[in-house]
Amino acid sequence: MARNYKELQAKMDPASRGDNKQRVREELQRMALEQLRNAKQLTQTDMAEILDVPQSSISRIEQRADMYLSTLRNYIHAMGGVLQIRAIFPDVDAVVIDRFGDYEYQPYEVSVRAEGSGKYRLLAQPRGQGVPFTKAALKASALMKTMRALHLPESQISGIKADLDAGGRECVVAGHFGARRIFTVPELVAAGFEAASTE
């Protein structure tokens, strides 16, 4: 009879459990994209829906030996992760590289707030340092258009709108399994966001 992993883990002593978790972390660090996707219990079809691309595009991404950083970043974000590039040197700690020409990684989380009278406001808060971004209060049709400009799947857009219509005051734009979806400044600017006033 197959045994549940959680049952087996519960019977382990704390040292063995810790060793097991460490080995899992190490294994995750060596995974190819396809293996990482499988470990997150996502199919290529799931990823295609989240990224709003054909399933064949996901297959090509996973087979490539090289790709644009933005492609890899979007793929990792779709799984609820954050792409981080580090330079490793033998004599110093790892250095995080967050700028490659036009590519500067500055993660933002977006939420939608009901403002009353059929108006909504999109807010983008930085994860860490950064300036908040926002859009002026929008009617429902403009809100839908802006969420499409952020490349959200139609099912997610409909879900956010339904939550707000049902009396919700604020909805966070989430990725798969409720993980917070990450956006960058160029994505926000392209969707019409502006830096929030600090006054």
pLDDT in tens, 57-105: 888 888 887 777 778 877 887 777 777 788 888 888 888 776 665 455 6
Q: 160: part of which helix (H) or strand (E)? A: helix 154-165
Report the predicted TM-score, pTM, of the whole model to 2 decimal places.
0.50
Domain ranges of the chain: 16-103, 106-195
pLDDT tier, 113 (very low <50, low <70, confident <90, very high otherwise): very high
Q: The domain 16-103 belongs to what CATH superfamily?
A: lambda repressor-like DNA-binding domains (1.10.260.40)
pLDDT at 105: 64
Q: Could you tell me if residue 182 is left (phi over 0), alpha (psi between -120 and 50 degrees) or otherwise beta?
A: beta
Q: Could you say which DSSP state residue 53 is in?
A: S
